[in-house]
Amino acid sequence: MDTTEKMKIRQSIIEIMKTEQNRLERSISKREKIIRAYPDGALRCYTNGKYYSWYVFKDEGAGDDIKKTHTLIPKTDRELAVRLAKKGYNEHALKIEKAELKAITAFVKHYPKSAPGQDYLENCDEHKRLLGPKFVKINYTEEQWKWMTAERRWPQPHPEKLTVPTILGFNVRSKSESEIVTSLATRGIAFRYEWPLFLKDDPYPKFPDFTIQDPSSGGAVIYEHLGIMDDETYRRDSAEKIKNYIINGYFPGEDLFLSYETSGRKFTSLDADSFVAGAFADPFNKG
In this model, does residue 266 exceed pLDDT 80? yes
Tell me how far apart the alpha carbons of residues 170 and 159 are, in angstroms, rounded to a whole number.
11
Residue 4 or residue 87, greater confidence: 87
Position 114 scores a pLDDT of: 76
Start-to-end C-alpha separation, the chain:
34
Average pLDDT over residues 211-223: 83
In this model, does residue 221 exceed pLDDT 60? yes
pLDDT tens digits, residue range 33-56? 999 999 999 999 999 888 999 999
Q: How confident is the model at residue 83 (pLDDT cuts 50, 70, 90)?
A: very high
Whole-number mean pLDDT of the chain? 88
How many CA atoms does the CB half-sphere of 113 hold within 13 Å?
2
Query: For the chain, how are helix, strand and coil distributed in percent, rounded to 5?
Result: 50, 15, 35
CB-based burial, 20-52: b 16+ in 10 Å, e otherwise:
eeeebeeebeebeeebeebeebbbeeeeeeeee
Position 286 scores a pLDDT of: 44
In this model, does residue 88 exceed pLDDT 80? yes
Tell me how far apart the alpha carbons of residues 220 and 285 are, in angstroms, rounded to a whole number.
16
Position 135 scores a pLDDT of: 67
Please check whether residue 190 is in contact with residue 225, taking contact to mean a CB–CB distance below 8 angstroms.
no
In this model, does residue 186 exceed pLDDT 80? yes
In this model, does residue 173 exceed pLDDT 50? yes
Average pLDDT over residues 81-99: 96
**% of the chain at pLDDT higher than 90:** 57
Position 101 scores a pLDDT of: 96
